[in-house]
Amino acid sequence: MTASANATGQCAESEPVWSELRRAAQTAMTHAYAPYSHFPVGAAARVDDGRIITGCNVENASYGLGLCAECGLVSSLRLTGGGALTHFTCVDANGETLVPCGRCRQLLYEFGGPALLVRTPEGVRTMSQLLPEAFGPDHLQVRS
């Protein structure tokens, strides 16, 4: 699947893909463990081999040790065979689209790269638009 940018720089993509991901993210959100913030989050992504993977946030009494939904999603990606993320969305308890935090943008960049399509409240964007000039695995190459 390819995406094209519209006049505002947003990436256009077929709605059925995003509808399927939204449903998967909403289902994942119902498994979130959020007794402290009461802000359950679910995430879903499409992998380059067509699989849909999901994750949910898991809080901890030591607040800083909580895991975002994106962390669970990437763990699921690795656990189920790896691959590259191609599409990503994240929702709250009301099914409203959320934007990944900075830490999670970096995590998603690692496993989807700059072309990863991310649904935001303003529309579909590429990861390079959400995390310009990102630090990635290529920066860790030994240079001679």
Clarify whether 70 is annotated catalytic: yes
CB atoms inside a 10 Å sphere around CB 59: 19
Contact predicate 107/118, CB 8 Å: no
Q: Any idea of the CA torsion for 26, 58, 55, 129, to the nearest 10 degrees?
A: 90
Of 20, 70, 110, 133, the active-site residue reads 70
- Where would I find the H helices in the chain? 15-29, 69-79, 102-112, 127-130
Which residues have CB under 8 Å from 82's CB, separation 6+? Answer: none
How far apart, in Å, are the Cα atoms of 94 and each of 38, 56, 85, 119? 12, 14, 25, 16
Annotated catalytic residues are 70
